[in-house]
A and B are shown apart, each in its own frame.
Chain A
Amino acid sequence: MSQELHEPDDEINVDVQAQNPQKVTAAEIEDAIKKKLEKEPTELGKFSRRDKVTIICRRR
């Protein structure tokens, strides 16, 4: 299979056409790259400032 992975670029030309392994499709590679860029939220992090306001607004 021969697929263009990237539009020719004036600055950085990426042409893997010649070495592209037969078993890997361009879509698979793009999908893998997308996954590597994904961020998964953790439950580690600061409180929101909004919560502090809640304390104040509950007052009478």
Chain B
Amino acid sequence: MNVTLVTAPIATDFSDRCEIASCLDEREVSEPQLGVLSLAAVLQSRGDNVRVVDLDQAYFAYLKTSKDTCPRVFSEEAARLIFADRADVYGFSSICSSYPLTIRIAQAIKAAQPESIILLGGPQASVVDRQTLAAFLFVDFVIRGEAELALPVFLDELASARQLNLVPSLTYRWQSEPHRNSTAPVIEDLDSIPLPAYHLVGGLHGATRASLELGRGCPFACTFCSTNDFFRRRFRLRSPNRVLLDMRALAAAYGVREFELVHDMFTVDKRRVESFCEAMLASGEAFKWACSARTDCVDEKLLELMSRAGCTRIFFGVETGSPRLQKIIDKHLDLERAEQIISTTEQLGIRSTVSLITGFPEETQEDLQQTLRMFMLSVRCPRSVPQLNVLAPLAETPLYWEHRDELILGELCSDMSRQGASQEVEDLRLIKTYPEIFPNFYLIPTPRLDLESILELREFALNSVEHFRWLLSAIDQTTRDILGFFLGWRNYRLRTRSGLRGLDLRRYYRTGDFRRDFISFVQSNPAADSEIVQIFLEYTDALRYSKLGITPTGQITEPITSQDRLRWSDIPVRSNDISLVELSCDIQRVIDGLKLQIEPVWERGSHFYVASERSGIGERFQQISTELGRLLQACDGQRSVEEVSGQLSTELCEINESLRTYVIVRLLQGARAEGLINVYRGDTYRPKSKVGATS
């Protein structure tokens, strides 16, 4: 049978190129989606003719080739792409955030080929199966949950007797009403599933890492989480040998040695984690990998073993810093222990993501303060990434059922559902018409907290941490009340930019306007009296000034190449790819103090730093020697090599006078080799010899 499988898009949240450039890493988002590729591999192994359309890849291609970007136009484009090779069955995966788009594309396919079969699956369709079939007549079937067993049975029945009642986990129309067959048993032996069919989406060429499934099923039952509806609560792991086999296969085929090991809760069974780590160590492959964990399912010893076995990143879903809410949401984490685990993870050099949620209906200001305390703990760990998500009522979760009659639809919704700064009109129409299918775009009332304030807190927290991580830490250490500080900021923002609401507010927080306003606010805030806050304001100021850039003067053409030798009349110019910053103390010592929440050791005096933006990695800020700093300062495009040498010669008094020129020239050569300066050929070159004797 001819089957086209379509992935659930992620990147389509973002509507223009600038937004994508600032919010997404194209390569990461374009990573093949395991669910669809796993099904494709199963179907291929039985001889079906399978095609996979990756909508993220299609979206990036669309952005590159289209003049005007418009999600509505993309849905038509996507439908054309999917329809280009006619299939008997079009199977769509789904996630909550792009479900409206998936529905619209499916509708376009059905309109173009009415006899085709439209089948939905994936996390979202699985839980709103009956509602979807009732609302959208162009959707023929939904397969709920993991489909490796059910999909082949479904295709066989389609091709033969059409005894649909025999297909496990299938939801279909029976006498015009949605009908659910009983749910298929979970797949116990995950090793029996073939390697995902990466080749159907162009393979992993050029990728530095790949996702691999480690297992399925989370035994916990948090009230906000939807994972159990899809994978159920039966915890399963693939064997270490099988995971290693797949890793080796991908390493051999594509050179990938870093893996995102996908499992909602890998560390439930410590002994099995140990076995996995030991297998990784014994393999001698030195593969790197990342996983998810609960803070109460790891300990120091296990983390140390995981680190040795190649674990480089762990996602911790802490959710709330409030012990009271931990009980209410049925998460039950010991938060003191969670703090210790996050700190240990940091000390072991493992990167962490600390995911937190605000906007619970029972949440009070005190609960939120406690959550922000946990957030700031993550901020103080340089290898940790704090997340603050606004609660989304995911379909069919206990939380949704409790509050489904009081959902609120605003312009801003949870970032779990939409991260972009715009909303497609057609999607919005669907969301408004069918709240029971798209509840995640709604919010739950928070009687004890101002919902608008919470939505803004999320934008503030993530954007301020991105640009002012240590300034925020310094403010937290000074005020001990980051929520109070935010509320003060919000009042200031409401006064100075009163018209901003909804998506405009989201856009604002992603612009330089927010960053400038924020610095102005901090400068006028009592927190700025603190020395640790001042030093980060000094840093921000110095960085901004240094980014103004410099242009060489005089008759200057192209920089000389690395093969060209320096001449005295050449003009060395600081590279515009770097920012040179001079600060009045050693800022790393201040950071060391913030990390431990103690008064920093102040090392006063000029300290020089170089900031450089590295694509996809972010900004690096490195300390350089005073001599190199002075040299780069002198390379302002106004001076020749000879003049730079002359100026520095008087400043570098600690260097023996007879050696200064030599040292300066060598420093210039070194700075040039490292790309810190470019050298331009001046037109007044005069050869000079024996500098030592003439200087």
Q: Which chain A residues have a beta carbon within 8 Å of chain B's beta carbons?
A: 5-6, 9-16, 18-21, 24, 29, 32-60
* Interchain CB contact under 8 A, B24 and A39: no
Q: How many residues of B contact A (CB 8 A)?
A: 77
* Interchain CB contact under 8 A, A45 and B663: no
Q: Which 7 A-B pairs have the closest CB atoms?
A: A19-B658, A46-B619, A39-B622, A11-B565, A46-B618, A37-B670, A60-B123
Partner of B24 from A19, A36, A40, A52 at Cβ < 8 Å: A52
* Interchain CB contact under 8 A, B620 and A59: no
551-592 of chain B: CB within 8 A of chain A: 565-568, 587-588, 591
* Interchain CB contact under 8 A, B628 and A13: no
* Interchain CB contact under 8 A, B315 and A54: yes
B233 CB-CB contact with A under 8 Å: no
Residue of B at shortest CB range from A13?
A: B689
Partner of B667 from A33, A41, A50 at Cβ < 8 Å: A33
Residues of A within 8 A of B25 (CB): 49-50, 52-53
List 8 contacting pairs A-B, 8 Å CB cutoff, sorted by A. A11-B565, A11-B567, A14-B662, A33-B666, A48-B618, A49-B25, A50-B28, A55-B419
Known: A14-B691, A50-B616. A40 touches B622 (CB 8 A): yes
Residue of A at shortest CB range from B656?
A: A21
* Interchain CB contact under 8 A, B692 and A45: no
* Interchain CB contact under 8 A, B568 and A12: yes
427-456 of chain B: CB within 8 A of chain A: none
Please give the distance in Å from B421's CB to the nearest CB on chain A.
Answer: 13
Partner of A49 from B610, B616, B659, B670 at Cβ < 8 Å: B616
Residues of A within 8 A of B387 (CB): 54-55
Question: How far does the alpha carbon of A60 sit from the alpha carbon of B222 in the complex, in Å?
Answer: 15
Residue of B at shortest CB range from A14?
A: B662
Of the candidate stretches B76-84, B102-110, B466-474, B490-498, the one touching chain A is B466-474
Question: How far does the alpha carbon of A20 sit from the alpha carbon of B519 in the complex, in Å?
Answer: 51
Q: Is the interface of A mostly helix, strand, loop or mixed?
A: loop
Partner of B416 from A6, A13, A14, A59 at Cβ < 8 Å: A59
Please give the distance in Å from B286's CB to the nearest CB on chain A.
Answer: 21
B96 CB-CB contact with A under 8 Å: yes
Question: How far does the alpha carbon of A39 sit from the alpha carbon of B124 in the complex, in Å?
Answer: 49
Residues of B within 8 A of A13 (CB): 688-691
* Interchain CB contact under 8 A, B623 and A39: yes
Starting from the known contacts A36-B628, A59-B416, 5 additional A-B residue pairs (CB-CB under 8 Å) come to: A11-B568, A36-B625, A45-B611, A48-B616, A59-B96
* Interchain CB contact under 8 A, A24 and B656: yes
Please give the distance in Å from A23's CB to the nearest CB on chain B.
Answer: 10
Residues of A within 8 A of B276 (CB): none
Residues of A within 8 A of B641 (CB): 12
* Interchain CB contact under 8 A, B24 and A37: no
Please give the distance in Å from B379's CB to the nearest CB on chain A.
Answer: 10
B293 CB-CB contact with A under 8 Å: no
* Interchain CB contact under 8 A, B315 and A58: yes
Residue of B at shortest CB range from A52?
A: B23
Please give the distance in Å from B615's CB to the nearest CB on chain A.
Answer: 9
* Interchain CB contact under 8 A, A47 and B565: no
B10 CB-CB contact with A under 8 Å: yes
B336 CB-CB contact with A under 8 Å: no
Please give the distance in Å from B57's CB to the nearest CB on chain A.
Answer: 15
Residues of A within 8 A of B656 (CB): 21, 24
Question: How far does the alpha carbon of A18 sit from the alpha carbon of B659 in the complex, in Å?
Answer: 11
Residues of A within 8 A of B624 (CB): 38-40
* Interchain CB contact under 8 A, B587 and A42: yes
Residues of B within 8 A of A48 (CB): 616-618
Known: A14-B662, A42-B591, A47-B466. A36 touches B353 (CB 8 A): no
Question: How far does the alpha carbon of A59 sit from the alpha carbon of B619 in the complex, in Å?
Answer: 27
Residue of A at shortest CB range from B595?
A: A43
Question: How far does the alpha carbon of A53 sit from the alpha carbon of B465 in the complex, in Å?
Answer: 16
* Interchain CB contact under 8 A, A45 and B621: yes
Please give the distance in Å from A13's CB to the nearest CB on chain B.
Answer: 5
Partner of B621 from A12, A15, A36, A44 at Cβ < 8 Å: A44
620-645 of chain B: CB within 8 A of chain A: 620-625, 627-628, 641
Residues of A within 8 A of B382 (CB): 43
* Interchain CB contact under 8 A, A12 and B587: no
Partner of A33 from B13, B96, B670 at Cβ < 8 Å: B670
Partner of B623 from A21, A34, A42, A52 at Cβ < 8 Å: A42
* Interchain CB contact under 8 A, B13 and A56: yes
Known: A33-B670, A44-B539, A60-B124. A12 touches B416 (CB 8 A): no
